[in-house]
Structure 1
């Protein structure tokens, strides 16, 4: 119990949250482009920079940062939960021994499940707010009118029921493999590099963070596309297809996407996603590593995650 409620786990959680907020703020417009490419299926522009130019031209200079606050709030909570759970479980299971790739994958998966169940409502709301006021090419999309985070929660619960806040939970649970795969490769690459040198440079951390995230994102991207569509939940779906988040509905959306756009329709927006997520993850992990190391040094504690 002491390991779970330790100061070390809190330091890792705060550092992870700060790192993610810093990185997402820097690369936020890329995430805006990715979301438009995933949700607005009839948009002709296929590249990240063209979509961003369209958004700025049609909706204003600050449009790529629409929904920044709810996204940052959700991300901060989400990464705090993930890093706290990951490091607490690691402290309990590994107990000072050298970790293994298998253990990292299992711990990452469990931490991801806890994170999804606790924070999905925040992500549903921020997806809605991020797309509110957007000029869509797809006429099936129903516009929203939320005044902010609290009003969005209120309207969704009132109009769609409280379970709508967990729209996309099923693909999200499948997607816990994304951070699990990312951390498995990140920790594995880190262990290999530390065998050859005493400590990692900032460039080392940035590069292995980017490689780990690129692998995880490419492997799980089709499910991320379906997750975005389900979280948005503002398409005029047939009544039998409104059981949002169920396996049947996930398979329905996968089939529809492939039927309308071919297999590459599942990878629409991948360029923007890779650009955004790889750079964001690399910068986040760099800030995270530096912040934890600095905190432990100042407090005179040994960094529990040195392998």
Structure 2
């Protein structure tokens, strides 16, 4: 029964994560590009980088279409389903094990049969760490695909600057220069596939490249761990309060838990 509950939690978490990811993915793409943008201090910032997220989204739509905003969506959806499914599955699994241990301790005269704050923290941290270790390669590919078109565009800008510099040095003017500029302008960056991204990562850093940034990501596991610890502790307090008031209700709404935080 406990294993089936863990599976149900995993499936529900995966489904909810997929829906949320589809709705917010354009914002994530723009946010990732803004965070990874590198501009020389001697050059003025382009309007799209400083005018805000909305203008950045419009700029991507104009230059790359909807494909630009949803670049890397497929592996991201897979990663979200895997990440949420793994987290909620193992969270429920570890929670069931911890609760069973607490009951055994109660029979031995130690404790009241419920989990304490530290136990909730350990359960959430274990589930989060397993999630990070298993799904980090997916998020490495997603980030690579989200920023690929941005990198291509910078390469094109560098080529254009090099062409203009060569033209000024060699006296290249007129239709020949314009033809070369038009040729560069007609070449638009396009999102590339998951296999291409995986090959690039492997070529650059080998297998270890798929777990790049794993240490800080594992450290960040403390954020949802603390969140779930507070949630479970608040839920326990609310159930105890209801029991004391003799309401006899076992289910507690999310709004009640939020109000109790």
User: What TM-score bracket applies, with the shorter chain setting the length?
Assistant: 0.5 to 0.7
Q: Is the contact between residue 40 and residue 136 of structure 1 (CA under 8 Å) also seen in structure 2? A: no
Say what the alpha-carbon RMSD is for the aligned residues: 3.3
1:94 and 2:105 equivalent?
A: no
Which of 143, 152, 155 matches 2:197?
A: 152
State the 1:100 CA deviation: 3.0
Q: Is the contact between residue 98 and residue 115 of structure 2 (CA under 8 Å) also seen in structure 1? A: no
Name the counterpart of 2:173: none
SS at match of 1:98: coil
1:25 and 2:22 equivalent?
A: yes
Name the counterpart of 2:128: 112
Larger helix fraction of residues: 2
Higher normalized contact order (CA 8 Å, seq sep 6+, divided by chain length): 1
Q: Is the contact between residue 68 and residue 191 of structure 2 (CA under 8 Å) also seen in structure 1? A: no
Which of 58, 76, 80 matches 1:75?
A: 80
Cα-to-partner distance string for 1:273-304 (whole Å, 9 max, x where unaligned): xxxxxxxxxxxxxxxxxxxxxxxxxxxxxxxx
Name the counterpart of 2:226: 181
State the 1:145 CA deviation: 8.4
Higher mean C-alpha displacement, 168-177 vs 91-100: 91-100
Alpha-carbon spacing, 1:146–1:156, altered in 2? closer, same or farther (3 Å): farther
Q: Is the contact between residue 68 and residue 190 of structure 2 (CA under 8 Å) also seen in structure 1? A: no
Please give the TM-score of this superposition, normalised by the length of structure 2. 0.66
Cα-to-partner distance string for 1:16-73 (whole Å, 9 max, x where unaligned): 1111111111222221222122211446326332332332233224432221111111
Q: Is the contact between residue 70 and residue 129 of structure 1 (CA under 8 Å) also seen in structure 2? A: no
User: Could you list the runs of 5+ residues in structure 2 that have no partner in the other structure?
Assistant: 40-44, 104-112, 159-188
Q: Is the contact between residue 125 and residue 152 of structure 1 (CA under 8 Å) also seen in structure 2? A: yes
Q: Distance in 1 between matches of 2:98 and 2:132?
A: 22
Q: Is the contact between residue 64 and residue 190 of structure 2 (CA under 8 Å) also seen in structure 1? A: no
Cα-to-partner distance string for 1:155-198 (whole Å, 9 max, x where unaligned): 32134211111111111111111221221233234344444584
Name the counterpart of 2:149: 133
Cα-to-partner distance string for 1:231-274 (whole Å, 9 max, x where unaligned): xxxxxxxxxxxxxxxxxxxxxxxxxxxxxxxxxxxxxxxxxxxx
Which of 65, 76, 79 matches 1:60?
A: 65
State the 1:138 CA deviation: 7.0
State the 1:104 CA deviation: 1.6
Name the counterpart of 2:214: 169
Q: Distance in 2 between matches of 1:150 and 1:17?
A: 23
Q: Is the contact between residue 67 and residue 129 of structure 1 (CA under 8 Å) also seen in structure 2? A: yes
Alpha-carbon spacing, 1:17–1:166, altered in 2? closer, same or farther (3 Å): same
> Number of residues paired by the alignment?
203
Alpha-carbon spacing, 1:188–1:46, altered in 2? closer, same or farther (3 Å): farther
State the 1:121 CA deviation: 0.9
Q: Distance in 2 between matches of 1:183 and 1:158?
A: 39
Q: Is the contact between residue 41 and residue 138 of structure 1 (CA under 8 Å) also seen in structure 2? A: no
1:84 and 2:89 equivalent?
A: yes
